[in-house]
Amino acid sequence: MRDFPSCFGENGVQVADFSSSSTTNKVAQNLVNCVYQCRLRGKSCLISVTWSKNLMGQVLSVGIDDSTNQCLCKVDIKPWLFSKKKGSKSLEADSHKVDVYWDLSSAKFGSGPEPLEGFYLGAVYDRQMILLLGDMRKEAFKKTSATPASFNSVFIAKKEHIFGKKIFSTKAQFCDNGKVHDLVVECDTSGSNDPCLVIRIDSKTMMQVKRLRWKFRGNHTLLVDGLAVEVFWDVHNWLFGTSPGNAVFMFQTSLSAEKLWASQPLCDPHTLHWSWSQRFQDSQTQCLGFSLTLFAWKNE
């Protein structure tokens, strides 16, 4: 997914142009990017929601792509800077008006940038709620006067930056409306000649990779909630990077993802962000299921 620019709007909300965004030059940020498949005038579209926290504060970005992953429009919302914790913005998506509504005035956050409760974020097209996030559903429908869409949005992909010294934890939902699991990646690369990579789900060890210096890239299949989940990992930067970098982990709920991986091998660590982001999009256009990508950064 494309990154959002770190610019400021006069009213705390602005439409941004992707062309000036340079992912490779950006410092790692604490962000969560979620992608939902929706319907816009009978056609499939992707709505990307990014919750982010950086030195300037927190940012919420909403972007709409068509079925070919071409950006149609995007909006950045920064309510904490301008006391604009709720509001709306009209976007022009492929000559069609989409209204984005949000209320974060009572939102509660955990350690990450994504709100846990007390909020809503909705996208309305032709008086239908094509996407609704948060637990304040009644308030959202009252505010927008919208009706539920005939086609429910589907949560298809998530990308998250996580931080730690040797333990990296997050919440994982491997399918739309599925069970939320505690996911832990553990790897101690300091002072060890033979580091080991461990992945646990709900405190249960699901996989171990020993002799990691020889197996710094690879894949393995897990069984979660009756689903085959293919895990890909790339920890080259952790072991051989000249400066603190990130490892990348991808959890894909279809074995067909292996073909996608093989079609574009990861060779240059500096292109990880773009390679995995594109693989994120490609996997969804090919209907390969749900993808969770984690960028794990080691704190020094």
Question: Helices marked H in 158-296 — which ranges?
Answer: 236-240, 257-263, 272-285
* 185 or 44, higher pLDDT: 185
Distance between CA atoms of 119 and 17, rounded to whole angstroms?
A: 27
Across 141-161, average pLDDT: 92
Residue type for position 108: K
Across 132-137, average pLDDT: 96
- The predicted model scores a pTM of 0.76
Asked if residue 155 lies in contact with residue 290, where contact means CB atoms within 8 angstroms, the answer is yes
Predicted local confidence at residue 84, as pLDDT = 66
Predicted local confidence at residue 291, as pLDDT = 92
The predicted-structure confidence for 2-35, as pLDDT tens digits, reads as follows: 332 222 222 222 222 222 333 333 445 688 999 9
Nearest residue to 97 via CA among 80, 117, 75? 75
Across 186-198, average pLDDT: 85
Buried b (16+ CB within 10 A) or exposed e, 207-239: eebeebeeebeeeeeeebeeeebbbbbbbbbbe
Residue type for position 33: N
User: Counting every residue, how long is the chain?
Assistant: 300
Asked if residue 222 lies in contact with residue 183, where contact means CB atoms within 8 angstroms, the answer is no
Give the phi and the psi of residue 81 in degrees, each rounded to 5.
-85, -25
What would you report as the CA-atom Rg of the chain, rounded to the nearest whole angstrom? 19
Distance between CA atoms of 189 and 53, rounded to whole angstroms?
A: 27
Residue type for position 157: A
Asked if residue 48 lies in contact with residue 65, where contact means CB atoms within 8 angstroms, the answer is yes
Question: Helices marked H in the chain — which ranges?
Answer: 79-82, 137-144, 236-240, 257-263, 272-285
What are the residue boundaries of the structural domains of the chain, listed by start? 13-152, 161-298
The predicted-structure confidence for 238-296, as pLDDT tens digits, reads as follows: 998 777 679 999 999 864 444 444 433 333 333 343 344 444 444 444 444 789 999 99
Give the phi and the psi of residue 108 in degrees, each rounded to 5.
-110, 135
Distance between CA atoms of 105 and 86, rounded to whole angstroms?
A: 6
Distance between CA atoms of 40 and 126, rounded to whole angstroms?
A: 9
Distance between CA atoms of 210 and 218, rounded to whole angstroms?
A: 12
Residue 106 scores a pLDDT above 60:
yes
Encoded tokens for 11: 């009213």
